[in-house]
Structure 1
Amino acid sequence: MSEKPSRSRRKPGVTMRARQFRSAGNQAEALLWTELKARRLNGFKFVRQFPVGPYFADFLCREAKLVVELDGSQHAGSAHDERRDAFLNAAGYSVLRFWSVDMLRDRQEVLASIVEALEGRLAENTDAPDMNYKMAFRRGRGRP
């Protein structure tokens, strides 16, 4: 008996790897996912550990082309993250990064910043101690 060819457009193994990332998440990611799933944040739909090229976005809103990343201290000054952000920006995604500890301590501020990015109210790149935002060409709900 022969196997049916896959109808998926994804490379073999990508879905399994995304599932592994989702199950290996940390407390901060679990808390943020609780706030983002099922369109709970202003009606925007997010997916978790979604493949974009060779990378996986922690959280992705396809409609707004926004990637939200929660990072631990091992990401401080990461050249890999810089390359990753450049790739995502070139693909048309804005990238919003927070420290995981900020999600645990200041959840409402993190969520407010995400809403600002989703609605196009973050109008320029930001590099602050608690947040990093790299805007792509397009942002928000269809706004240039």
Structure 2
Amino acid sequence: MPINLTVAAKELRKNSTDAERLLWRHLKAKQVHGLKFRRQEQIGRFIADFVCYETRLIIEADGGQHAVEKEKDEERTQWLNSQGFTVLRFWNNEILTNIEGVMEIIEMRCINRSSTTPLPTPLPLRGEGA
């Protein structure tokens, strides 16, 4: 029986782990450089813990089960990369014990990605159009 990912994502939002709740408190409401993050977002056949579409960044909070599911995670990451996303993975205990370090890595990734994104239209040179 196929899984309805919309329902699954809603359930995941309702039953977040402690690490996901802590990370969400730091990501929500455009606190990271004014960027909008979404949580438990369906992307293709996967559900990303957190995603910022502006920077094409996915953040995963991994529990112990991910140590066993390495192949599935690698396949998932490869597919997401092929769709133009970068995936950052953090262990739950890392988020819970070092949220400042985790946020520093996320912020640096957002700054680096946004600084390489071209402006939508070229800015006029001084004196042009006058």
TM-score strictly above 0.5? yes
The answer as to whether partners of 1:48 and 1:57 remain within 8 angstroms in 2 is: yes
The verdict on how the C-alpha distance between 1:86 and 1:40 changes in structure 2, with shifts beyond 3 A counting, is same
Partner of 1:55: 46
Within 1, Cα distance between the matches of 2:4 and 2:91? 29
The answer as to whether partners of 1:64 and 1:142 remain within 8 angstroms in 2 is: no
TM-score by length of structure 1 reads 0.75
Structure 2 regions of 5+ residues with no counterpart? 118-130
TM-score by length of structure 2 reads 0.82
SS at match of 2:28: helix
Q: Which has the larger radius of gyration?
A: 2
Partner of 1:115: 107
Q: Percent same amino acid among aligned pairs?
A: 38
Q: How many residues align?
A: 114
SS at match of 1:39: coil
- Per residue, is there more helix in 1 or in 2? 2
CA deviation after TM superposition for structure 1 residue 16, in Å? 1.9
Partner of 1:6: none
Structure 1 regions of 5+ residues with no counterpart? 1-11, 121-139
Aligned match for 2:28, one of 37, 55, 60: 37
RMSD: 1.6
Q: Is 1:79 aligned to 2:52, yes or no?
A: no
14-23 or 108-117: bigger deviation: 14-23
